[in-house]
Amino acid sequence: MADYRDEYRRKLISAEEAAGLVRPGMWLDYGYACGFPLLIDEALARRAKDLANVKMRVFRSLGEPQVLKADPRQEHFIYSSWQVSPTELKYHDDGACAFIPANLGEAPRLYREHLKDEVDIAFLTVTPMNEQGYFNFGASTSYEKAVCDVAKKVVVEVNESQPWVCGGYDEGIHISQVTNIVENDKHQIVEAPVAPSTEADEAIGGHIAGLIEDGATIELGIGGIPNSVGKLLVKSGLKDLGIHTGVFVDSMVDLMESGVVTNRRKEVVPGKSVLGSAIGSRRLYDFINRNTAVAGYPFDFTHNLGILAQMKSFMAINSALKVDLKGQVCAESIGLRQISGTGGQLEWTRGAYLSPGGKAFICLHATRRNREGKLLSNILPVLESGDTVTVPATDTGYVVTEFGAVDLKGRTTWQRARLLISIAHPDFRSELEEAARRGNLITRGT
């Protein structure tokens, strides 16, 4: 350990010195979610006026990036997000944050192949070093190692609040691969409070829970609806569920502690809940810390279609914004306004279909209100101009609203239209049917 301690001291620098490594024109990459380097980001924001054309890639920031706050006119930082988060949205609306389209499971390969010459510095938050000289990526094993493998410089921000997550593989990095170390004794990793469930969320969760069987393996996305599903599964009476997910969320702690999730019957990494990241409360971070019933893997494992196909009854549960009467799903934009990202939704949908007995659930509220307070249907005759098709109609399986669950696989356009109209808000069903007839989705004889 003495040699590693000496190396640690040699590589230790301040956040200001880390920010000082940045030069105009560089490409910088931050860690995912809880891997976001909070202290270095603050120091870099203070250097904004000294820099120009610094290009940044960030994936799911949980707090407000200080570099955006310091440079709202994008005069110094060219900030791009793989998945526009709520804290980045106002900057995207003002033209100070760009979007990078990508499937989540591709992220490690994108870095190792397509971006291998475009990472000047990687800034990531890690755990304290262990006796063998390793730092752990903690609540984000996502694509961190891939970024480090190609970066010209790797600067880790050590944060004692980062949980140590057992692997897996690519869950950590050795000090010999690290350029510099910054100690963050100011900020804890960001907690993401669980949004309270609505009656609609609980109704949707009830429809889904009734379609899951004993021994199934589940994936839950982020948000009120997937969280409600998790809570309902705790009370469902189901047995021996497994977890294989991109994001480990708070309701999964409840599922494991209640004994509903045992992972005993899971074909891939049996006995362990597999995750690519974790986002939630301090309770969640403490639960996964050195928990040998949890295994962190990079996204090219968690989202790998070949891996998902090996599991029986894989259930993917994700949220959407809109679905049209053909079954096209938009989960990331309202027109040209990007409000999220593709994430893993397409991969989960396809992976669940490849799984024997698997099901993919696209969940959404039947209605929403616009900025003027007008009630609008989230089931539309056709997606609107600029809406991103996150899941093509050919891939869509189950669609679930508070009014029911329907399976679109193998259905004609007129069957799809009628099924989706049946789970739309009653106030919109007549006009949806009329639009379907005008568009020949419902044909003369049907």
Q: Residue range 238-245: average pLDDT?
A: 97
Distance CA 232, CA 303 (A): 25
Range 8-17 burial, b when 16+ CB lie within 10 A, else e: beeeebebee
Q: Which residues pair with 363 in a beta bridge?
A: 319, 400
Evaluate if residue 418 carries a pLDDT over 80: yes
DSSP H/E element including 118 = none
Q: Residue range 423-429: average pLDDT?
A: 98
Q: Residue range 374-394: average pLDDT?
A: 97
The answer to whether the CB of 84 falls within 8 A of the CB of 106 is no
- Decide which of 193 and 63 is more confident: 63
- Token pair for residue 372? 């003027």
pLDDT for the residue 224? 80
pLDDT for the residue 225? 83
The answer to whether the CB of 112 falls within 8 A of the CB of 89 is no
Of the chain, the percentage scoring pLDDT greater than 70 comes to: 100
In tens, the pLDDT along 111-163 reads 999 999 999 999 999 999 999 999 999 999 999 999 999 999 999 999 999 99
Distance CA 290, CA 56 (A): 32
**Which of 172, 140, 144, 143 lies closest to 288 in space, CA to CA?**
140
- Token pair for residue 350? 């396809």
pLDDT for the residue 184? 98
**DSSP annotation string for 4-25:** HHHHHHHHB--HHHHHTT--TT
Distance CA 446, CA 443 (A): 5
In tens, the pLDDT along 65-80 reads 999 999 999 999 999 9
Distance CA 326, CA 402 (A): 20
The CA distances from residue 150 to 1, 28, 78, 165, 346, in Å, are 27, 12, 21, 23, 27
The answer to whether the CB of 128 falls within 8 A of the CB of 156 is no
In tens, the pLDDT along 275-329 reads 999 999 999 999 999 999 999 999 999 999 999 999 999 999 999 999 999 999 9
What residues contact 427, with CB distance under 8 A and at least 6 apart?
Answer: 375
- Token pair for residue 200? 């609609």
Distance CA 84, CA 340 (A): 5
Reported in sequence order, the residue ranges of 341-401 that DSSP labels E, i.e. its strands, are 359-363, 367-369, 375-377, 379-380, 398-401
Look at the block and give the residue holding tokens 């997606």: 383
- Token pair for residue 127? 């755990």
Q: Residue range 214-226: average pLDDT?
A: 90
The answer to whether the CB of 253 falls within 8 A of the CB of 230 is no
Distance CA 99, CA 283 (A): 32
Evaluate if residue 195 carries a pLDDT over 90: no
User: For the chain, what is the radius of gyration of the CA atoms?
Assistant: 22
Q: Which residues pair with 329 in a beta bridge?
A: 323, 391
Evaluate if residue 399 carries a pLDDT over 80: yes
Q: Is the peptide bond preceding residue 168 cis, with omega within 30 degrees of 0?
A: yes
The answer to whether the CB of 380 falls within 8 A of the CB of 337 is no
Give the dihedral sign, CA 182/276/329/198: negative
Other Cβ atoms within 10 Å of 237 Cβ, number:
9
Evaluate if residue 1 carries a pLDDT over 70: no
pLDDT for the residue 193? 82
Distance CA 323, CA 330 (A): 6
pLDDT for the residue 319? 94
Evaluate if residue 229 carries a pLDDT over 90: no
Evaluate if residue 99 carries a pLDDT over 60: yes
pLDDT for the residue 2? 63
Q: Residue range 265-275: average pLDDT?
A: 97
Distance CA 35, CA 389 (A): 29
The answer to whether the CB of 381 falls within 8 A of the CB of 430 is no
Q: Residue range 248-258: average pLDDT?
A: 95
Distance CA 55, CA 12 (A): 25
pLDDT for the residue 24? 97
pLDDT for the residue 231? 86
Other Cβ atoms within 10 Å of 421 Cβ, number:
21
The answer to whether the CB of 431 falls within 8 A of the CB of 423 is no
3-state secondary structure of 254: helix
**All domains in the chain, ordered by first residue:** 2-183 (3.40.1080.10), 199-438 (3.40.1080.20)
Q: Which residues pair with 322 in a beta bridge?
A: 330
Name the burial class of residue 374, with classes exposed (0-12), middle (13-18) and buried (19+) by CB atoms within 10 angstroms of its CB: exposed
pLDDT for the residue 51? 97
Distance CA 127, CA 137 (A): 7
Q: Residue range 340-356: average pLDDT?
A: 96
The answer to whether the CB of 341 falls within 8 A of the CB of 82 is yes
